[in-house]
């Protein structure tokens, strides 16, 4: 009874478990030609049938699907094959140009599709069988830089066909093939800003069996080369045949005649068997290390720099203390008129500094009690004792002596009086009331 209940629980548990497995398609074979552009589109619609439908009807096309491509048995793709997919809602594209070295060698590419909604995967293999061609390589090759295209836009068959048609009208060859397409980012270009619908740019290489036309040769003229060096657009007569759809940077066009190219042969070293030669039995170092004396290292590290520093210190001290010219020697070499001028300036500066420090200057005569000989009264001072001396000018003139008092003075010839101004005088710091005494004796 207990066993049957446990078995029923296991069945119920298994019903609730969702197992995510990877589905695999049959191998798909393609046959590109060497030296000709190969483009294979990984369509999302091709893999949608392998994933469960979307819960909401009509929304199955919104499943985000990404692709991962690699050479079977290796983590990455071959060097000639590139892959691009902008967003999980767009198709992926495999593109590249196989060379003659890959002819006769089947290249198996593992393609894994990831459903980002259900996290399921679908996998199939793409077998690339590269075929040889008599037209490879075409002797005349031209590479154009198109500024208003991204690589996935240029890989579309309609756009690439329009471009080859425009080149054929200008070049007029018998055979014309697209050899390779490369994004400008793979050539060191910068990612454009997301403004004004800027594009990354793409390089398109085409090959033909006839020499370059006169229109393509116009780029090599000295006038156009000068305009390119000044970052100006060259004057190309056939640019109007491309301008309607393709904006070509004619300064970056490359014209190559492989018949004139000198081949460079690189000698590769013999890889050998991969087995290291026999050097005998390995002998590890001894477990007992010899002791080492670090005293000599200490002297070299600290003693020598310290000795050099001490010597430099004594040389500097001798130069600063015993090699000075002195004031007397300086004065002897200075003209007398310059010394007198300097001394007068220094003396005046010291006097002004001492006067500014000592604000307790002598009080003016107007601040002292003055006796009026006419009325017989003693006139009190104009300013009280708390008179602020800091506001008093250091050097007073007749015009700014506001604190002076005029005292009437009798003339000797008559009874009329004249006004006399008195000032307080100091002799060696002692105030002198000479004028006041003379006034009292009148």
Q: Give the chain's domain count.
A: 2
* 8: CB partners within 8 A, 6+ apart: none
Pair (249, 166) in one structural domain: yes
The pLDDT of residue 258 is above 80 = yes
Q: Does 193 or 143 have the greater pLDDT score?
A: 143
The verdict on residue 77 lying in a domain is: yes
The pLDDT of residue 314 is above 50 = yes
Stretch 412-433: mean pLDDT: 47
Least confident residue range of 17-26, 56-65, 120-129, 324-333: 17-26
Pair (102, 76) in one structural domain: yes
Strand partners, 38: 96
The verdict on residue 199 lying in a domain is: yes
Q: What's 39's domain CATH number?
A: 2.60.40.10
Stretch 1-18: mean pLDDT: 40
Average pLDDT, the chain: 76
The separation between the first and the last C-alpha atoms of the chain, rounded to the nearest angstrom, is: 152
Question: Before 137, cis peptide (omega within 30)?
Answer: yes
Banded model confidence at residue 402, pLDDT cuts 50, 70, 90: very low
**Residue 98 phi, psi (nearest 5):** -70, 155
Q: How far is CA 80 from CA 28, 139, 307, in A?
A: 20, 21, 66
pLDDT at 264: 62
**Cα distance between residue 167 and residue 178, in whole Å:** 11
pLDDT at 143: 93
Pair (149, 91) in one structural domain: no
* 104: CB partners within 8 A, 6+ apart: 130, 132
**Cα distance between residue 252 and residue 240, in whole Å:** 17
C-alpha 208 chain-centroid distance:
44
**Cα distance between residue 425 and residue 436, in whole Å:** 11
Tokens of 63: 């499943």
- Specify the pairing of strand 406-410 against strand 417-421: antiparallel
Its pTM stands at 0.54
Question: In this predicted model, what pLDDT tens digit does every residue of 322-376 receive, in sequence order?
Answer: 777 677 777 777 888 887 888 889 888 888 888 877 765 555 555 555 556 556 5
pLDDT at 13: 37
The pLDDT of residue 312 is above 90 = yes
Pair (153, 227) in one structural domain: yes
Stretch 84-113: mean pLDDT: 90
The pLDDT of residue 442 is above 60 = no
**Cα distance between residue 184 and residue 145, in whole Å:** 8
Q: Does 83 or 290 have the greater pLDDT score?
A: 83
Domain boundary among 239, 260, 281: 260
**Cα distance between residue 377 and residue 207, in whole Å:** 128
**Cα distance between residue 174 and residue 162, in whole Å:** 17
Q: What percent of the chain has pLDDT over 90?
A: 26
The pLDDT of residue 7 is above 50 = no
How many CB atoms lie under 10 A from the CB of residue 106?
Answer: 10
Stretch 207-211: mean pLDDT: 90
The pLDDT of residue 424 is above 80 = no
Pair (123, 144) in one structural domain: no
Pair (229, 196) in one structural domain: yes
Q: Does 134 or 411 have the greater pLDDT score?
A: 134
Domain boundary among 130, 151, 173: 130
Are 369 and 381 within 8 A, CB to CB? yes
Pair (144, 256) in one structural domain: yes
Tokens of 270: 């013999």
The verdict on residue 91 lying in a domain is: yes
Stretch 112-129: mean pLDDT: 89
Strand partners, 146: 202, 248
The verdict on residue 111 lying in a domain is: yes
The verdict on residue 231 lying in a domain is: yes
The pLDDT of residue 12 is above 60 = no
pLDDT at 262: 62
Pair (75, 161) in one structural domain: no
Range of the domain at 126: 28-130
Alpha helices in 184-259 (DSSP H): 214-217, 222-229, 240-243
pLDDT at 376: 58
Q: What percent of the chain has pLDDT over 70?
A: 69
Q: Does 378 or 109 have the greater pLDDT score?
A: 109
Pair (145, 235) in one structural domain: yes
Q: Does 384 or 380 have the greater pLDDT score?
A: 380
pLDDT at 14: 34
The verdict on residue 246 lying in a domain is: yes
The verdict on residue 282 lying in a domain is: no
Pair (118, 181) in one structural domain: no
The verdict on residue 438 lying in a domain is: no
Pair (156, 230) in one structural domain: yes
Tokens of 5: 């209940």
Are 92 and 83 within 8 A, CB to CB? yes
Question: In this predicted model, what pLDDT tens digit does every residue of 145-195 receive, in sequence order?
Answer: 999 999 999 999 899 999 999 999 999 898 888 999 999 998 888 888 877
Domain boundary among 106, 130, 154: 130
**Cα distance between residue 37 and residue 183, in whole Å:** 14
Question: In this predicted model, what pLDDT tens digit does every residue of 33-77 receive, in sequence order?
Answer: 888 899 999 988 888 877 877 666 655 457 889 999 999 989 999
DSSP, res 239: T
Question: In this predicted model, what pLDDT tens digit does every residue of 273-295 receive, in sequence order?
Answer: 767 777 778 788 777 777 888 88
Pair (105, 214) in one structural domain: no
Maximum average pLDDT range among 11-25, 99-113, 317-331 = 99-113
Banded model confidence at residue 203, pLDDT cuts 50, 70, 90: very high
């Amino acid at each position: 009874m207990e066993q049957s209940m446990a078995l029923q629980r296991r069945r119920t548990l298994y019903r609730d478990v969702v197992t995510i497995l990877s589905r695999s398609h049959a191998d798909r074979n393609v046959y590109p030609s060497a030296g000709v552009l190969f483009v294979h589109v990984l369509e999302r619609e091709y893999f949608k049938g392998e994933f469960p439908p979307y819960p909401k009807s009509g929304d199955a096309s919104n499943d985000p699907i990404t692709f991962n491509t690699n050479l079977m048995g290796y983590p990455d793709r071959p060097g000639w094959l590139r892959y691009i997919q902008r967003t999980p809602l767009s198709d992926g594209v495999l593109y590249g140009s196989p060379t003659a070295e890959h002819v006769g060698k089947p290249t198996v590419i593992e393609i894994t599709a990831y459903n980002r909604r259900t996290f399921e995967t679908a996998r199939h293999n793409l077998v690339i069988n590269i075929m040889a061609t008599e037209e490879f390589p075409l002797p005349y090759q031209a590479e154009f830089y198109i500024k208003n295209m991204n690589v996935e836009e240029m890989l579309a068959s309609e756009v690439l066909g329009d471009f080859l048609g425009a080149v054929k009208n200008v070049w007029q060859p018998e055979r014309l093939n697209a050899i390779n397409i490369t994004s400008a980012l793979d050539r060191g270009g910068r990612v454009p800003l997301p403004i004004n619908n800027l594009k990354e740019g793409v390089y398109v290489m085409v090959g033909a069996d006839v020499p370059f036309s006169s229109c393509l040769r116009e780029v090599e003229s000295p006038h156009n080369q000068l305009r390119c060096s000044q970052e100006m657009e060259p004057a190309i007569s056939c640019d109007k045949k491309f301008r309607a759809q393709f904006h070509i940077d004619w300064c970056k066009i490359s014209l190559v005649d492989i018949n004139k190219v000198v081949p460079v042969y690189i000698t590769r070293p013999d890889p050998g068997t991969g087995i290291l030669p026999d050097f005998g039995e390995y002998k590890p170092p001894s477990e007992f290390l010899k002791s080492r004396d670090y005293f000599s290292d200490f002297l070299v590290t600290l003693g020598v720099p310290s000795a050099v520093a001490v010597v430099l210190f004594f040389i500097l001290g001798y130069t600063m203390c015993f090699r000075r010219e002195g004031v007397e020697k300086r004065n002897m070499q200075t003209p007398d008129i310059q010394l007198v001028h300097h001394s007068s300036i220094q003396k005046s500066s010291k006097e002004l500094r001492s006067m500014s420090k000592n604000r307790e200057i002598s009080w003016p005569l107007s601040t002292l009690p003055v006796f009026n000989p006419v009325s017989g009264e003693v006139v009190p001072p104009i300013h009280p004792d708390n008179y602020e001396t800091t506001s008093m000018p250091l050097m007073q003139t007749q015009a700014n002596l506001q604190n002076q008092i005029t005292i009437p003075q009798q003339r000797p010839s008559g009874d009329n009086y004249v006004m006399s101004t008195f000032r307080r005088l100091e002799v060696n710091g002692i105030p002198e009331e000479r004028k006041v005494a003379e006034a009292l004796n009148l």
